[in-house]
Every structure is written in C-alpha cells, then in structure tokens.
A = this chain, B = another copy of it.
Amino acid sequence: MNNDDVLDVAMAAYWQGDPADVSVNAITQMAGISKPSLYREFGSEDGLKLAVVDRYAEQVLSDMFVILHAGMGLRETLDALIDFACDDPRMETGCLFNKMRAGKHRLGPLTRARVDEIDAAGQAAYAAFLQSCRDLGDWPGTLPVTVGAKYLGEQIGLAITQRASGEDPARIREMLTLALTVLARHDAYHTAS
C-alpha cells in the first residue's frame, strides 16, 4: 500500500461522499494503514486534502482543459462540455472539486488556497476559450468574456451537482443545453433520447 494508493482511496472516499464528512480515521481504515503513517506522509488532514485535490486536478479536471484547448469551434466545444458533464461516468457522484469549493469554509488553509488557485485557473481557461471564439468571429454579441466564462463554469458545475443528487440524467442534459443555448443558439430544442 504505497502513497498513491492511499491517495486513490482518499480521493474516492471524498468524492463519493462529502470531503467534510469523511474522517481521517475512516480513511486509514479503508486504506488499511495506521494513523501515524498517514500523518507522517501528509502532515495533517489539510495536507492530505491538498494532495487529493492536486491529484484530482491532474487526473480529472485536466480533461476539461483538454476540451477547452482542443481548438474546436464554440458549438462543438460546448457540446463536448455538455457530454462531459452529463455522460462521463466519473461525474456520477458529482465533481470533487465542486464539492470542495462549495464547502470551502470547512477546508484547512492549504487546501482552500489551492482550491482558489484551481478555480482561478478554470475561470481563466473558460475566458481564454471564449476570447478566442470572439476573436475568430465564432461568438457574436457583446456579452463580456468574463461574464460568459463565469456563466459557463457555473452552469456546468450545476449540472454535475445535479447528477450527484440523483436527478434524471436526460433532464439534466435538457437543462444544461437550454442554459448554454444563450451562448450559442442551437437550431431547435430537442429532448435527449
């Protein structure tokens, strides 16, 4: 049971439930290691969560950055984001990063700072994508890029949160599609089959 295995166990536990509801005792038990071992490796609960959120960012959130930097057009990119939010099986229990951000006040200082960093990076990635769309004439209108970026991020986060609460996936897709219609008007409203 090496270090990364422990991180995988912790990440899965935090991800499935709520990061604030999983104790270090529970994690040591699930990972089959002793509490002092965990504290020697990660220093504190805060250190463990920091390592977990970093791992999550590089393993999961990176996929979203890939979509945003793939150089696709606005519509294609939005569709890819919709697919990710609505269909990726990893998001069935919600997004760990969103959960952490939603319960930010319960995090230690290290993890909270990192969450803010990642949040800013995500915001910047959305904004850069929209800016490039506008530059290429692919995104008409006068909506400020920063507002569009925030809106996009919030809508995707909302959809993933709804998946975690057991909402009907077809309806989630309808609502997210509807919300993003305002960024790139689709031909017609069509229900997901």
Chain A residues packing against B (C-beta within 8 Å): 18, 21, 102, 105-106, 141-143, 147, 150-151, 154-155, 158, 162, 171, 174-175, 178-179, 181-182, 189
Secondary structure at the A interface, as helix, strand, loop or mixed, is: helix
Interchain nearest-CB distance for A162 vs B (Å): 7
A129 to B64 alpha-carbon distance, docked (Å): 37
A178 touches B182 (CB 8 A): yes
Number of copies: 2
A158 to B179 alpha-carbon distance, docked (Å): 13
A181 touches B182 (CB 8 A): yes
Interchain nearest-CB distance for A177 vs B (Å): 10
CB-CB under 8 A from A147, the residues of chain B are: 171, 174-175, 178
Interchain nearest-CB distance for A127 vs B (Å): 13
A54 to B112 alpha-carbon distance, docked (Å): 34
CB-CB under 8 A from A21, the residues of chain B are: 105-106
B182 touches A141 (CB 8 A): no
The 5 A-B pairs at the shortest CB distance, nearest first, are namely A151-B175, A178-B182, A147-B174, A181-B182, A182-B182
Interchain nearest-CB distance for A74 vs B (Å): 16
CB-CB under 8 A from A105, the residues of chain B are: 18, 21
A189 touches B18 (CB 8 A): no
A155 to B18 alpha-carbon distance, docked (Å): 23
A-B contact pairs, 9 of them (CB 8 A): A18-B105, A21-B105, A142-B189, A143-B189, A147-B171, A154-B175, A158-B158, A178-B182, A179-B182
CB-CB under 8 A from A182, the residues of chain B are: 178-179, 181-182
Nearest opposing residue in chain B for A104, CB measure: B165
A137 to B180 alpha-carbon distance, docked (Å): 25
